[in-house]
Amino acid sequence: MTFDTFANPWPPRENIEITSVRAITTAPEGTALVVVRIDTNVPGLYGLGCATFTQRWKAVQTLVDEHLARLLVGRYPGDITDLVRLCAFTGYWRGGPVSNNAISGVDQALWDIAGKRAGLPVHELLGGKVRAAADTYIHAAGRTADEAIEQAHGFIEEGWRHIRLQLSTPGGGGYGAPALPTVYPDAPYRNGWSARDYLRRVPELFEAARAALPRDTELLHDVHSRLTPKEAVILARSLEPYGLFFLEDVLPPEHWDRLPEVRAASPVPLAVGELTTSLTDAVRLVRDGGVDFIRSHVSDIGGLTPARKIADLAELSGVRTAWHGPGDTSPIGAAANVALDVTSVAFGIQEGHIYNEATHDVFPGTLRIESGYLTPNDAPGWGIDIDEDAAARYPAELSGHDAWAAGVRRPDGALEAP
Ligand code: GCO
Ligand code: MG
């Protein structure tokens, strides 16, 4: 089979073609980020896309550099949908976070190029704004409820209206907060995590928070997939008095087919989706009634092109969006989230992350959250660049984040789903 197999059956336009495609890795916050850079034969015309799968970044890099680049060099960068399908279908097996992140990097880089050619920000290519900015939520956590509430107060003073509250638990399964010291001295695994203990602690956190925080502050919580369907209902019911904005990831993906029954029994809106690894997974969550908020990680479902379809499906289904946006999203990925947020009627909330100054040095133009709002850049494309010399000062390393992901065990020693 020769390269002609991939020939474009329609002619290229305007003598523009892709000249190189490569993955750039960097870790200005210690978390590996992957960004795809696509260059063209037009001087100065290139695009950037987020391909960050931080636990498996080297696999994504190899896929971009060794497999996808050769499919794309010589092609016209304006055929975004066709090129993304070509990248997906040449792999034959679809989906999965490695492949989707690599394809997302390509997809978002091509949108960046399209914006730069048009002289327009990507959100205008998507149909333009339906809102001025995206309201965000921010993470507050503590070893005690008081500590978490104190941090929440600080964010409220800085202008945030939505706060995700997390509490330390023994064994670290409280997610987002430091683990409490060993409490099961006779257990095989002394520093274990117990779901029953967690179910008792979380309502206490929200009871204290409701008493201490302003009434109009919206509260959120991330379970991080650690409950059974019945435990999820128990938690949702016990949180009813505190009027949560949403309760996130009550079940692991293996049990998502039980979500409609949990949702039907839950007085609290459910947010799910950061672990979707295909467009079809995300479609099922929205279509089958499993979610009130769909919160896929855009690069994990293949980029902006598929995510737009989910935003449209959500709009037609009465579901809201809450795109995943933690620190293992590059600033380019964060800009893609905001482009979706401000152009979609289905927008619910955006997860916010405060990037450190090193990240701003590596990615000039990185958006800053102001008074809780993220406002998109009006520069052409994403309006965000990469300084490769700065990126090289923060080399990505293997096995930082994956150790965290598999760090929680029950007191009997059984490994807990992250
Ligand atoms: C969230 C998340 C993340 C994930 C992380 C895994 O922001 O809601 O659950 O922080 O844990 O993206 O790498
Ligand atoms: Mg989460």
Ordered DSSP codes for 72-118 = HTTS-TT-HHHHHHHHHHTTSS---HHHHHHHHHHHHHHHHHHHHHH
Residue 33 lies in a domain: no
Q: What is the pLDDT of residue 176?
A: 77
Q: Hey, which of 300, 324, 399, 404 would you mutate to test ligand 1's pocket, going by the most ligand atoms within 8 Å of its Cβ?
A: 324
Atom of ligand 1 at shortest distance to CA of 222? 8
Sheet of strand 33-40: strand arrangement = 18-26, 33-40, 46-50
Q: Identify the domain containing residue 175 by its residue range.
A: 125-381
Torsion angles phi and psi, residue 390, rounded to 5: -65, -40
Output Rg (C-alpha) for the chain, integer angstroms: 22
User: What are the residues facing 135 on neighbouring strands?
Assistant: 373
Q: Does the residue 25 lie in any domain?
A: no
Residue 220: which CATH number?
A: 3.20.20.120
Q: Tokens 């700065």: give the residue.
A: 390
Are 408 and 180 a contacting pair, CB within 8 Å? no
Kindly report, residue by residue over 74-123, the tens digit of the pLDDT. 999 999 999 999 999 999 999 999 999 999 999 999 999 999 999 999 99
In a domain, 341, yes or no: yes
Number of independent structural domains in the chain: 1
Query: Which ligand neighbours the alpha carbon of 273 most closely?
Result: 2
Alpha carbon distance 279, 281 (integer Å)? 6
Element at 34 (helix H, strand E): strand 33-40
Map tokens 């979610």 to a residue. Answer: 291
Query: Does 186 reside within a domain?
Result: yes
Q: Decide if 79 is inside a domain.
A: no
**Catalytic: 224?**
yes
**Protein residues near ligand 2, an ion, with CB under 5 A:** 222
pTM: 0.96
Distance 11 CA to ligand 1 centre (A): 43
Alpha-carbon distance of 20 to 16, in angstroms, equals: 12
In a domain, 257, yes or no: yes
Only one residue has tokens 């019911």, namely 237
What distance in Å separates the CA atoms of residue 343 and residue 26, rounded to the nearest whole number? 30
Per the annotation, the verdict on 175 as an active-site residue is: yes
What are the pLDDT digits (tens) for 133-149?
999 999 999 999 999 99
Structural domain contains residue 387: no
What's the rounded Cα separation, in Å, for the pair 303 and 80?
Answer: 11
User: pLDDT tens digit string along 365-398?
Assistant: 999 999 999 999 999 999 999 999 999 999 999 8
Tokens 């210690």 locate to 30
Asked, for residue 194, whether it belongs to a domain, the answer is yes
3-class state of residue 221 by DSSP: strand
337-363 per-position pLDDT tens digit = 999 999 999 999 999 999 999 999 999
Cβ-Cβ contacts under 8 Å for 1 (sequence gap 6 or more)? none
